[in-house]
């Protein structure tokens, strides 16, 4: 059960920190909009590549690999948050 929760944790932390980091770094509105466009393009490319890989190697196998790959950043972010005292 914890394995299923981990990838969602990284996703939630990534979206929550993305906006605050952009503002804290002093980015202007048009720069934030540009980053959002690049983020959407990268996500679209990832979906196409994931679909292609799923068709080639099997969707269950690719989903398992994707979950395993997203668990690593979740653990790293969790350790960093814990070290920060939260």
pLDDT tens-place values along the chain, 86 residues long: 455 555 566 566 666 667 777 777 788 888 888 888 998 899 899 889 999 999 999 999 998 888 888 778 778 877 887 887 76
Cα→Cα distances 62→18, 26, 29, 56, 58, Å: 26, 38, 36, 10, 6
pLDDT of residue 14: 66
Q: What is the pTM of this model?
A: 0.62
Single out the residue of 62, 27, 35, 29 nearest to residue 46, CA to CA: 62
pLDDT of residue 13: 64
Please count the residues of the chain. 86
pLDDT of residue 22: 76
> What's the CA gap between 29 and 17, in Å, rounded?
17
> What's the CA gap between 74 and 77, in Å, rounded?
5
């Amino acid at each position: 059960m914890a394995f299923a929760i981990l990838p969602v944790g990284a996703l939630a932390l990534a979206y929550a920190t993305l906006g605050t980091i952009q503002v804290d770094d002093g980015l202007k509105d048009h720069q934030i909009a540009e980053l959002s466009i690049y983020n959407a393009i990268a996500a679209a490319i990832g979906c196409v590549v994931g679909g292609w890989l799923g068709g080639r190697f099997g969707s269950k196998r690719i989903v398992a690999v994707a979950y395993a790959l997203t668990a690593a950043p979740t653990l790293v972010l969790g350790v960093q948050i814990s070290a920060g005292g939260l």
